[in-house]
Every structure is written in structure tokens, then in C-alpha cells.
Structure 1
């Protein structure tokens, strides 16, 4: 965000994903990037589309190939950095 880095974890139940969308909107985020892990990304994409938020779904295998990126938080930071460029 313009104010600095924020890290928050959301569960995958619909009520928590709605909180995710509210959190994204509250921070004025115009773009979202995520890995295509399992089927969880599909519901998030549907919610992002409904809110007219631009999104990218990236290949999880490409992300895992990056050395030194072994935690979910580090992966999220890496994806964010790539999206910003």
C-alpha cells in the first residue's frame, strides 16, 4: 500500500473471502495477483470480477522454481513485487 507493507491471512470460506474483497477495496488496490494453487483461486477470481478488480492468476510451478522463496509470506511478497513491475 502507499503507507507500507501489510500482510494479512484469510481463510477460504466464503465469509472470509468477502472480508478479503472488503480489505482489498478499503486499501484502494486496483490489481491483484495470485498463484493457481488447487481450486481455491476460482472463487476469489469470481469475487474479484464482480468488483471490477484487475487480477492475474500465475502458474504456481513457475513461482516455486524461484530459489529462496519457500514460505507463503515470501511467495506473496515476491508475487506483489512482480505485479508492481
Structure 2
């Protein structure tokens, strides 16, 4: 490999801001923030969603208010009730 063209590969910590979970891994991501973890000062990257908080992995699905959204759309844009089409 050519010297001087590759980013620094180092140990970093990814912290989930919604659950507080931390993951120690190796990455080339750059960050100025640091965290003291297990007696070491490591760079930290804050993420909004990780496996600790994502609905797919946790099983906690959020129910969206789709009926309310449709009603608001109809009120805002004046949906016209259309007669049912005849099949035949």
C-alpha cells in the first residue's frame, strides 16, 4: 500500500443518543468529541438510531396516525367524493 493516502484506522465509540448504548469498534470516521470509557479516552460519534433503539431490532413499533393524516389532507386540499365505478 502507498504510504500517506489512507485515513487513520482507529478505535472509536458510537453512542446512541436515544438509548445511551455505546459500541466500541474500529473506524476511519473523524470526530473531535471524546469519551472516557474503561480508563481510556476515545473519540465518540453520537448517532440517533442504532440496534439498541431501532424499532426493527427492538420490536417496539410506533403506530402512525395515518387516519388523521388522510383527514387533514382531505380538509386541506378539498377531496371530492367520487361515486363508485360500475363493473361490468
Per the normalisation by structure 1, the TM-score is 0.25
Please identify the structure whose Cα radius of gyration is greater. 2
Flag the structure with higher helix content: 1
Flag the structure with higher strand content: 2
